[in-house]
Structure 1
Amino acid sequence: MPVDSTTFRSVLGQWPSGVCVVTTAGPTGVHGMTASSFSSVSLDPPLVSVCLGNHLPSRALLGEAGKFALSFLGKDQAHIGRRFAGQERGISDRFAGLDWTITPNGCPVLSDAVAWLDCRVAHAYPGGDHTIFVGEVTEAALPRIISPLLFHSRNWGQVAQPLPDTVQVRDLASPPDGLRFEFFAAGRDSLPSPERVIAARKAGDCVVGYVTDAFDPDREDEVLATVAALRALGCDEIGCVESDVAPASPLQVARILQDASVLVRPAVLRVRLAGHNRLALVNALVAMKNGVSHFDVVAPGAGSPGLPLDDLLHLSRQLEVAGPVDQRPSDADLAQIRE
């Protein structure tokens, strides 16, 4: 006996998915809808599928047009997902006020989507009260690197990373070992030359670029753009530094690190927090929950404004996170590098 539709819908709601806007264009104009029933089908040839309800206007228009595009939404685009799902009242034109790019197939895609695919309908299969459209991908792009928007149990959400297995630290009071080329950048205009970075890497140095005042809410776009520029420059490690003057809020720490943890890959993301901030340990926990396992700390009694090592140790023990481990290379590592 088939399961009832209410139970089936509730069970499916426990499966988290990304969110995309499906668009198509035909003689009657453009049309779009929000969908989470997207899946990759094949790499060679590149095929994807999307399922549309047979009662929806998009299903008929897409079938007639023979083409469609998919715009994957970022964590800050839930309002767009709600709009194309018909959840925002008073909006007659779902496309109005948004920045669109027209694909080679003539379908609109969001200019600031996380990614988009342009597709030609290769197959259309009956699927109960839905039609399964298989599209051959003809164009693809990654306009913006940002954490994706998720949909789970009828709610819009974001990626929450688990705690790291270990926490690693670097004592700011440790004398320089001569194997690190470190610099600080307030923005993209204050980066060292590519030649200087290349020379440091040839010398065997670990290239570490820090973004100062990284958690200022008024500098969010510039901070993330600087993080991306540091990664493009070839940094091995990229650090986000809290201001000694303006304490960072846990919310802003989460906003920056959630995207920075994606932007830096495969480089290492470091965080340097201000120890005098009353929310320092909260910010450290938020950092761990957003992909950070490397912290700059100060030893007890150092008298500097950094995050105290003892506090981070206490936090890691309470969270059952192993470590921390000193990041300085061992004598054996030094000898191997020098050889």
Structure 2
Amino acid sequence: MPVDSTTFRSVLGQWPSGVCVVTTVGPHGAHGMTASSFSSVSLDPPLVSVCLGNHLPSRTLLESAGKFALSFLGKDQAHIGRRFAGQHPGVTDRFAGLAWTITPNGCPVLSDAVAWLDCTVAHAYPGGDHTIFVGRVTEAATPRVIAPLLFHSRTWGQVADPLPTAIHLTVEVAAGDPLAQVLRQGGARVRHDDDHTEFVVTADGSGLPSAEWVAAAKLAGCVVGYVADAFDPGREQAVLDVLDALTALGCDEVGLAESATAPASPLQVRRVLQDAKARVRPAALRVRLAGGHSLALVNALVAMKSGVTHFDTVAPGSGSPGLPLGDLLHLSRQLEVSGPIDPAQAGDLRDLAQIRE
């Protein structure tokens, strides 16, 4: 017995997918539509597929042109997806007001897409009320590093990252404090140990070392480059540019430091970390969050949900501002995220002063 269309559509809606704009050209110029029915087919040769409804003008135009392009949308481009899905009926020219690049095949792609593919039609297969177009990829690019736009259950959304299984800590400890040895034995890194070198760069790039200096420092151990005041909403793009520079220098770890005097909002922390996580690979991304304000642990939770596993904290008596070690370990315990100190051995980690006694 065949499945009714309502049930079938509802089931398919539970499968999340990325979103792309399919473009081609016809007698009257460019034409485009939003599609989520995209799939990779082959690596060698590079082939992809897209399914278009037989009732759509795009389907006829694409078949006649024998070519098409795909622009993958980022998390901030849901309005473009809606426009090319026909959800803005007042828009007569879907291409107007957006920046486009013309591919070698002559198809338009979004200049600020997450990525784009330029294709020639290799095959066209009947697929019920759709046509399955298989395209041979002739050009490809990734213009912008940003989290993707998702479509799920007829709703536009973003990637929701799971909590990490474990976190790694660097701890600021007062000089001569016996707690340092306890932390090392537990697997934490103690800041200012000789096995790593740190430097701080401002959002305008001031303090950026040379590639030769970083290469020499790497011979002695781990190199960590931090961006100061990294969650200032007025300098978001500048911060991301500095992250690119630190990654290009070959830093083992790249850090984002929150201002101790201007606490960041969780939304801004999320926005920066979503993009930063993808930019710094293969380097590890770490955060140095401020303590002493009501949103400190919220920001720590947001960082974990954004894929951060490396945190800088401060131990009691260190004299440094920052996220208290005990608070972060208490949070990780409640979230069932393992850390370098076993709560069963350390006792009440909200008061780490007990460890020194």
* TM-score of the two chains, using structure 1 as the length reference: 0.94
Aligned-partner SS, 2:194: coil
What is the identity, as a one-letter code, of the residue corresponding to 2:214?
V
Aligned-partner SS, 2:198: strand
User: Does the alignment pair 1:85 with 2:102?
Assistant: no
User: Does the alignment pair 1:158 with 2:154?
Assistant: no
Hey, what's the Cα distance between the residues in 2 that align with 1:165 and 1:272? 20
1:195 — aligned with what? Answer: 212
Hey, what's the Cα distance between the residues in 2 that align with 1:306 and 1:180? 20
Alpha-carbon displacement from aligned partner over 1:135-177 (angstroms, at most 9, x marks no partner) = 0000000101111100000001111111111111111234622
Aligned-residue offset at 1:261: 0.9
What is the identity, as a one-letter code, of the residue corresponding to 1:301?
G
Aligned-residue offset at 1:255: 0.5
CA contact (8 A) 2:74 2:146 kept: yes
Hey, what's the Cα distance between the residues in 1 that align with 2:198 and 2:155? 43
User: Does the alignment pair 1:287 with 2:303?
Assistant: yes
CA contact (8 A) 2:288 2:313 kept: yes
Hey, what's the Cα distance between the residues in 2 that align with 1:30 and 1:20? 16
Aligned-residue offset at 1:83: 0.5
2:314 — aligned with what? Answer: 298
CA contact (8 A) 1:38 1:48 kept: yes
What is the identity, as a one-letter code, of the residue corresponding to 1:231?
T
2:280 — aligned with what? Answer: 264
What is the identity, as a one-letter code, of the residue corresponding to 1:179?
D
Q: How does 1:23-172 map to 2 (within 5 A)?
A: 23-172=23-172
What is the identity, as a one-letter code, of the residue corresponding to 2:297?
L
Change over 3 Å in CA distance of 1:213–1:175 after alignment to 2: closer
CA contact (8 A) 1:168 1:325 kept: no
Aligned-residue offset at 1:325: 5.8
User: Does the alignment pair 1:246 with 2:273?
Assistant: no
Aligned-residue offset at 1:237: 0.3
User: Does the alignment pair 1:275 with 2:307?
Assistant: no
What is the identity, as a one-letter code, of the residue corresponding to 2:64?
E
Aligned-residue offset at 1:226: 1.2
What is the identity, as a one-letter code, of the residue corresponding to 2:253?
E
Aligned-residue offset at 1:70: 0.2
CA contact (8 A) 2:203 2:230 kept: no
Alpha-carbon displacement from aligned partner over 1:221-247 (angstroms, at most 9, x marks no partner) = 111111121111111101110001111
Deviates more, 1:220-229 or 1:38-47: 220-229
1:228 — aligned with what? Answer: 244
Change over 3 Å in CA distance of 1:19–1:309 after alignment to 2: same
Aligned-residue offset at 1:199: 1.2
Give unpaired runs (5+ residues) of structure 2.
174-189, 343-357
Aligned-residue offset at 1:90: 1.2
Hey, what's the Cα distance between the residues in 1 that align with 2:257 and 2:191? 20
Structure 1 counterpart of 2:337, from 317, 321, 325: 321
Aligned-partner SS, 2:339: strand
Deviates more, 1:161-170 or 1:186-195: 186-195
Aligned-partner SS, 1:178: coil
Hey, what's the Cα distance between the residues in 2 that align with 1:186 and 1:82? 38
Hey, what's the Cα distance between the residues in 2 that align with 1:256 and 1:244? 17
CA contact (8 A) 2:203 2:235 kept: no
* TM-score of the two chains, using structure 2 as the length reference: 0.89
Aligned-partner SS, 1:324: coil
2:17 — aligned with what? Answer: 17
Change over 3 Å in CA distance of 1:325–1:139 after alignment to 2: farther
Moved over 6 A (4+): none
Alpha-carbon displacement from aligned partner over 1:38-96 (angstroms, at most 9, x marks no partner) = 00001110000000001111000000000000000001100100010011231100000
What is the identity, as a one-letter code, of the residue corresponding to 1:270?
R
Alpha-carbon displacement from aligned partner over 1:248-293 (angstroms, at most 9, x marks no partner) = 0011111111111111111111110111121000000000000111
Alpha-carbon displacement from aligned partner over 1:175-220 (angstroms, at most 9, x marks no partner) = 622222211111353211111111112x232110101111111111
Structure 1 counterpart of 2:194, from 178, 194, 198: 178
Identity of aligned residues (%): 76
